[in-house]
Amino acid sequence: MNEFRCVLDAKALVAECPRWHPAEKCLYWVDIYEPSLNRLDPGTGDNKKWPMPERIGCFAFRRNGGIIAGMQSGIFLVDFADKVTTRCVFPFEPENSGTRFNDGRCDRSGRFWAGTVVETMDKRVSALYRFDSSGACTKLVDKLICSNGLAFTEDGRTLYHSDSRQDYVWSWDVDPVTADISNQRVFLAMDIQEGRPDGAVVDSEGGYWICHVGGWHVARYTPDGRISRVIGIPVQRPTACCLGGENFQTLFVTSATYPLSASERDKQPLAGGIFAIEVGVRGFAEPFFGREGPQ
Protein backbone atom coordinates (compact mmCIF):
# COMPACT_ATOMS: atom_id res chain seq x y z
CA MET A 1 0.00 0.00 0.00
CA ASN A 2 1.32 3.44 -0.88
CA GLU A 3 2.42 5.68 1.95
CA PHE A 4 3.08 9.38 2.18
CA ARG A 5 6.63 10.39 1.31
CA CYS A 6 8.20 13.61 2.53
CA VAL A 7 9.12 15.71 -0.53
CA LEU A 8 10.41 18.64 1.55
CA ASP A 9 11.57 18.55 5.16
CA ALA A 10 10.61 22.21 5.55
CA LYS A 11 10.09 22.29 9.33
CA ALA A 12 7.60 25.06 8.66
CA LEU A 13 5.78 26.77 11.49
CA VAL A 14 2.42 26.46 9.74
CA ALA A 15 2.71 25.37 6.10
CA GLU A 16 -0.61 25.91 4.32
CA CYS A 17 -2.40 26.49 1.03
CA PRO A 18 -0.57 24.07 -1.32
CA ARG A 19 -1.38 24.90 -4.95
CA TRP A 20 -0.11 23.07 -8.03
CA HIS A 21 0.97 25.24 -10.97
CA PRO A 22 0.39 23.04 -14.05
CA ALA A 23 2.54 25.06 -16.45
CA GLU A 24 5.53 25.24 -14.09
CA LYS A 25 4.95 21.72 -12.72
CA CYS A 26 5.71 23.06 -9.27
CA LEU A 27 3.95 23.26 -5.93
CA TYR A 28 3.46 26.64 -4.31
CA TRP A 29 2.73 26.90 -0.59
CA VAL A 30 2.87 29.39 2.27
CA ASP A 31 4.23 29.42 5.80
CA ILE A 32 1.71 31.61 7.59
CA TYR A 33 3.84 32.70 10.51
CA GLU A 34 7.32 32.87 8.96
CA PRO A 35 5.75 34.47 6.79
CA SER A 36 6.69 33.35 3.28
CA LEU A 37 5.51 32.21 -0.13
CA ASN A 38 7.35 29.13 -1.43
CA ARG A 39 7.79 27.32 -4.73
CA LEU A 40 8.79 23.64 -4.58
CA ASP A 41 10.00 21.62 -7.55
CA PRO A 42 9.11 18.06 -6.44
CA GLY A 43 11.40 16.60 -9.08
CA THR A 44 14.54 18.20 -7.71
CA GLY A 45 13.52 19.11 -4.16
CA ASP A 46 14.51 22.73 -4.77
CA ASN A 47 12.42 25.20 -2.77
CA LYS A 48 12.48 28.94 -3.52
CA LYS A 49 11.25 31.27 -0.79
CA TRP A 50 9.87 34.80 -0.97
CA PRO A 51 9.52 36.56 2.41
CA MET A 52 6.12 38.22 2.80
CA PRO A 53 5.59 41.52 4.64
CA GLU A 54 2.94 40.07 6.97
CA ARG A 55 1.15 36.82 7.79
CA ILE A 56 -0.24 35.15 4.68
CA GLY A 57 -3.02 32.60 4.99
CA CYS A 58 -4.02 31.78 1.42
CA PHE A 59 -3.53 32.73 -2.21
CA ALA A 60 -4.51 31.99 -5.80
CA PHE A 61 -2.57 32.45 -9.02
CA ARG A 62 -3.49 35.46 -11.17
CA ARG A 63 -4.06 35.17 -14.92
CA ASN A 64 -1.40 37.77 -15.68
CA GLY A 65 1.21 36.60 -13.21
CA GLY A 66 1.72 36.90 -9.49
CA ILE A 67 -0.85 35.95 -6.90
CA ILE A 68 -3.81 37.33 -5.01
CA ALA A 69 -3.42 36.66 -1.30
CA GLY A 70 -5.42 36.82 1.91
CA MET A 71 -3.03 38.28 4.47
CA GLN A 72 -3.05 39.83 7.95
CA SER A 73 -4.49 43.21 7.02
CA GLY A 74 -6.45 42.49 3.85
CA ILE A 75 -6.47 41.05 0.35
CA PHE A 76 -3.40 41.92 -1.71
CA LEU A 77 -2.10 41.55 -5.24
CA VAL A 78 1.47 40.26 -4.93
CA ASP A 79 4.16 40.26 -7.61
CA PHE A 80 7.50 38.55 -7.03
CA ALA A 81 9.26 38.11 -10.39
CA ASP A 82 12.10 40.53 -9.53
CA LYS A 83 11.29 41.63 -6.02
CA VAL A 84 8.22 41.27 -3.83
CA THR A 85 5.70 44.08 -4.29
CA THR A 86 2.23 44.18 -2.78
CA ARG A 87 -0.87 46.27 -3.42
CA CYS A 88 -3.85 46.13 -1.07
CA VAL A 89 -7.15 45.78 -2.94
CA PHE A 90 -9.34 45.13 0.12
CA PRO A 91 -8.23 46.60 3.46
CA PHE A 92 -9.51 44.40 6.26
CA GLU A 93 -11.00 46.10 9.32
CA PRO A 94 -12.00 43.23 11.61
CA GLU A 95 -14.11 43.40 14.74
CA ASN A 96 -11.20 41.87 16.63
CA SER A 97 -7.59 43.01 16.16
CA GLY A 98 -6.35 39.42 16.30
CA THR A 99 -8.26 38.42 13.16
CA ARG A 100 -6.56 37.69 9.82
CA PHE A 101 -7.29 35.94 6.55
CA ASN A 102 -6.88 32.17 6.63
CA ASP A 103 -8.11 29.63 4.05
CA GLY A 104 -9.15 30.53 0.48
CA ARG A 105 -9.09 29.83 -3.27
CA CYS A 106 -10.71 30.85 -6.58
CA ASP A 107 -13.97 29.60 -8.05
CA ARG A 108 -14.44 28.53 -11.68
CA SER A 109 -15.16 32.12 -12.75
CA GLY A 110 -11.98 33.57 -11.26
CA ARG A 111 -13.44 35.06 -8.08
CA PHE A 112 -11.31 34.83 -4.93
CA TRP A 113 -13.01 33.38 -1.85
CA ALA A 114 -11.24 33.76 1.49
CA GLY A 115 -12.24 33.29 5.09
CA THR A 116 -10.81 34.72 8.29
CA VAL A 117 -9.75 33.38 11.68
CA VAL A 118 -9.57 34.98 15.11
CA GLU A 119 -6.18 33.93 16.47
CA THR A 120 -7.45 33.48 20.04
CA MET A 121 -10.00 30.93 18.77
CA ASP A 122 -12.58 32.17 21.27
CA LYS A 123 -14.96 34.53 19.45
CA ARG A 124 -17.39 34.15 16.55
CA VAL A 125 -16.16 37.23 14.74
CA SER A 126 -14.71 35.64 11.58
CA ALA A 127 -16.36 35.43 8.16
CA LEU A 128 -16.15 34.14 4.59
CA TYR A 129 -15.73 36.71 1.81
CA ARG A 130 -15.87 36.70 -1.99
CA PHE A 131 -13.64 39.17 -3.85
CA ASP A 132 -14.39 39.88 -7.52
CA SER A 133 -11.99 41.21 -10.13
CA SER A 134 -14.18 44.35 -10.26
CA GLY A 135 -12.96 45.13 -6.73
CA ALA A 136 -16.24 44.28 -5.02
CA CYS A 137 -15.93 42.26 -1.81
CA THR A 138 -18.99 40.53 -0.35
CA LYS A 139 -19.36 38.96 3.09
CA LEU A 140 -21.16 35.64 2.61
CA VAL A 141 -21.03 33.83 5.96
CA ASP A 142 -20.44 35.33 9.40
CA LYS A 143 -20.26 34.23 13.05
CA LEU A 144 -17.30 31.95 12.37
CA ILE A 145 -14.24 31.31 14.51
CA CYS A 146 -11.80 29.72 12.05
CA SER A 147 -12.95 29.63 8.42
CA ASN A 148 -11.43 26.60 6.71
CA GLY A 149 -11.91 23.62 4.38
CA LEU A 150 -13.02 25.73 1.42
CA ALA A 151 -13.27 23.74 -1.83
CA PHE A 152 -15.40 23.65 -4.97
CA THR A 153 -16.57 20.76 -7.09
CA GLU A 154 -15.19 20.68 -10.63
CA ASP A 155 -18.39 22.18 -12.08
CA GLY A 156 -18.30 24.96 -9.48
CA ARG A 157 -21.87 24.33 -8.38
CA THR A 158 -21.11 23.04 -4.88
CA LEU A 159 -19.06 24.77 -2.20
CA TYR A 160 -17.66 23.00 0.84
CA HIS A 161 -16.68 25.11 3.84
CA SER A 162 -15.88 24.45 7.49
CA ASP A 163 -15.21 26.09 10.81
CA SER A 164 -12.27 24.39 12.50
CA ARG A 165 -13.62 25.30 15.93
CA GLN A 166 -17.25 24.38 15.36
CA ASP A 167 -16.13 21.04 13.86
CA TYR A 168 -18.64 21.05 11.02
CA VAL A 169 -18.13 20.94 7.28
CA TRP A 170 -21.07 22.45 5.40
CA SER A 171 -22.00 22.26 1.74
CA TRP A 172 -23.76 24.97 -0.25
CA ASP A 173 -25.27 25.36 -3.70
CA VAL A 174 -23.49 27.99 -5.80
CA ASP A 175 -25.33 29.97 -8.47
CA PRO A 176 -23.13 29.64 -11.61
CA VAL A 177 -23.92 33.20 -12.74
CA THR A 178 -24.09 35.32 -9.59
CA ALA A 179 -21.93 33.10 -7.31
CA ASP A 180 -24.55 33.53 -4.59
CA ILE A 181 -24.71 30.59 -2.16
CA SER A 182 -27.83 28.90 -0.81
CA ASN A 183 -29.19 25.70 0.70
CA GLN A 184 -26.64 25.32 3.50
CA ARG A 185 -26.55 21.81 4.96
CA VAL A 186 -24.24 19.82 7.21
CA PHE A 187 -21.92 17.66 5.12
CA LEU A 188 -19.78 16.34 7.98
CA ALA A 189 -19.97 16.52 11.76
CA MET A 190 -16.45 15.69 12.83
CA ASP A 191 -15.33 14.02 16.05
CA ILE A 192 -12.55 16.14 17.57
CA GLN A 193 -10.95 12.95 18.86
CA GLU A 194 -10.18 12.24 15.18
CA GLY A 195 -8.83 15.75 14.58
CA ARG A 196 -10.43 19.03 13.61
CA PRO A 197 -11.33 20.02 10.01
CA ASP A 198 -8.58 21.91 8.18
CA GLY A 199 -7.65 22.46 4.52
CA ALA A 200 -9.36 20.44 1.78
CA VAL A 201 -9.71 19.76 -1.94
CA VAL A 202 -12.27 18.05 -4.21
CA ASP A 203 -11.30 15.49 -6.86
CA SER A 204 -12.87 14.93 -10.30
CA GLU A 205 -15.18 12.23 -8.92
CA GLY A 206 -16.58 14.63 -6.32
CA GLY A 207 -14.57 13.15 -3.44
CA TYR A 208 -13.78 15.65 -0.67
CA TRP A 209 -10.27 15.22 0.78
CA ILE A 210 -9.70 16.95 4.13
CA CYS A 211 -6.82 17.15 6.59
CA HIS A 212 -7.75 16.10 10.13
CA VAL A 213 -5.42 18.48 11.97
CA GLY A 214 -4.35 16.93 15.26
CA GLY A 215 -5.49 13.53 14.01
CA TRP A 216 -2.46 12.22 12.07
CA HIS A 217 -4.42 11.53 8.88
CA VAL A 218 -6.14 12.75 5.73
CA ALA A 219 -9.56 11.38 4.75
CA ARG A 220 -11.67 11.26 1.59
CA TYR A 221 -15.46 11.54 1.75
CA THR A 222 -17.93 10.71 -1.00
CA PRO A 223 -20.42 13.38 -2.16
CA ASP A 224 -23.05 11.91 0.20
CA GLY A 225 -20.73 12.28 3.20
CA ARG A 226 -19.56 8.65 3.57
CA ILE A 227 -15.91 8.08 4.42
CA SER A 228 -14.21 6.19 1.58
CA ARG A 229 -10.53 6.36 2.45
CA VAL A 230 -8.29 7.19 5.40
CA ILE A 231 -4.55 7.65 4.92
CA GLY A 232 -2.24 7.97 7.91
CA ILE A 233 0.50 10.57 7.83
CA PRO A 234 3.61 10.63 10.06
CA VAL A 235 2.80 14.04 11.57
CA GLN A 236 0.10 15.08 14.01
CA ARG A 237 -0.87 18.31 12.31
CA PRO A 238 -1.56 17.94 8.57
CA THR A 239 -2.97 21.32 7.56
CA ALA A 240 -4.03 21.44 3.89
CA CYS A 241 -3.97 19.41 0.70
CA CYS A 242 -4.18 19.70 -3.07
CA LEU A 243 -4.04 17.42 -6.11
CA GLY A 244 -1.25 17.95 -8.62
CA GLY A 245 1.58 16.25 -10.42
CA GLU A 246 1.13 14.19 -13.56
CA ASN A 247 -2.59 13.85 -14.31
CA PHE A 248 -3.33 15.56 -10.98
CA GLN A 249 -3.19 12.24 -9.15
CA THR A 250 -0.63 13.21 -6.49
CA LEU A 251 -2.07 14.41 -3.20
CA PHE A 252 0.27 16.99 -1.65
CA VAL A 253 -0.18 17.74 2.06
CA THR A 254 1.33 20.53 4.15
CA SER A 255 1.89 20.32 7.90
CA ALA A 256 2.84 22.36 10.96
CA THR A 257 5.27 22.38 13.87
CA TYR A 258 3.34 25.12 15.69
CA PRO A 259 2.11 24.77 18.45
CA LEU A 260 3.83 21.44 19.16
CA SER A 261 6.01 21.18 22.25
CA ALA A 262 9.68 20.23 21.99
CA SER A 263 8.93 16.68 23.11
CA GLU A 264 6.12 16.36 20.55
CA ARG A 265 8.45 17.55 17.77
CA ASP A 266 11.05 14.99 18.85
CA LYS A 267 8.48 12.22 18.29
CA GLN A 268 7.63 13.46 14.79
CA PRO A 269 10.83 14.80 13.23
CA LEU A 270 9.14 15.42 9.86
CA ALA A 271 6.56 17.80 11.34
CA GLY A 272 6.30 20.94 9.25
CA GLY A 273 7.20 18.99 6.11
CA ILE A 274 5.48 18.70 2.72
CA PHE A 275 4.22 15.21 1.87
CA ALA A 276 2.96 13.46 -1.27
CA ILE A 277 1.16 10.25 -2.15
CA GLU A 278 -0.24 8.82 -5.38
CA VAL A 279 -3.97 8.39 -4.80
CA GLY A 280 -5.18 6.98 -8.14
CA VAL A 281 -7.96 9.50 -8.58
CA ARG A 282 -7.65 12.63 -10.70
CA GLY A 283 -7.94 16.21 -9.52
CA PHE A 284 -8.24 19.29 -11.73
CA ALA A 285 -6.40 22.56 -12.24
CA GLU A 286 -7.04 25.40 -9.82
CA PRO A 287 -8.72 28.40 -11.49
CA PHE A 288 -6.68 31.57 -11.75
CA PHE A 289 -7.97 34.87 -10.43
CA GLY A 290 -9.52 37.52 -12.68
CA ARG A 291 -10.94 37.93 -16.13
CA GLU A 292 -8.89 38.00 -19.32
CA GLY A 293 -7.03 41.26 -19.87
CA PRO A 294 -5.25 43.68 -17.48
CA GLN A 295 -6.16 43.34 -13.80
Is 198 a known active-site residue? Answer: yes
Q: Say if 152 falls within a structural domain.
A: yes
Q: Say if 219 falls within a structural domain.
A: yes
Q: Say if 34 falls within a structural domain.
A: yes
Q: Say if 293 falls within a structural domain.
A: no
Which residues constitute the domain of residue 155? 5-278
The residue ranking higher by pLDDT, 3 or 201, is 201
Identify whether the C-beta of residue 91 lies closer than 8 Å to the C-beta of residue 106: no
Give the span between the Cα atoms of 191 and 185, in whole angstroms.
Answer: 18
Annotated active-site residue in 31, 107, 198, 203 = 198
pLDDT band at 95 (very low <50, low <70, confident <90, very high): confident
Q: Say if 285 falls within a structural domain.
A: no
Give the span between the Cα atoms of 33 and 217, in whole angstroms.
Answer: 23
Q: Say if 286 falls within a structural domain.
A: no
Of 132, 140, 133, 135, nearest in space to 116 by CA: 140
Contacts 24+ apart (CB under 8 A), 157-162: 159/113, 160/187, 160/200, 160/202, 160/208, 161/115, 161/128, 162/188, 162/197, 162/200, 162/210
CATH number of domain containing 25: 2.120.10.30
| Count of structural domains, the chain | 1
Residue 101: what residue type?
A: F
Predicted pLDDT of residue 127: 97
Average of pLDDT values for 159-178?
96
Predicted pLDDT of residue 96: 78
Average of pLDDT values for 6-28?
98
Q: Say if 287 falls within a structural domain.
A: no
Q: To the nearest whole percent, how much of the chain has pLDDT over 90?
A: 93
User: In the predicted model, is pLDDT for residue 80 greater than 90?
Assistant: yes
Q: Say if 163 falls within a structural domain.
A: yes
Tally Cβ neighbours within 10 Å of residue 275: 24
Average of pLDDT values for 247-274?
97
pLDDT tens digits, residue range 208-260? Answer: 999 999 999 999 999 999 999 999 999 999 999 999 998 999 999 999 999 99
Predicted pLDDT of residue 1: 52
pLDDT tens digits, residue range 135-146? Answer: 999 999 999 999
User: In the predicted model, is pLDDT for residue 293 greater than 50?
Assistant: no
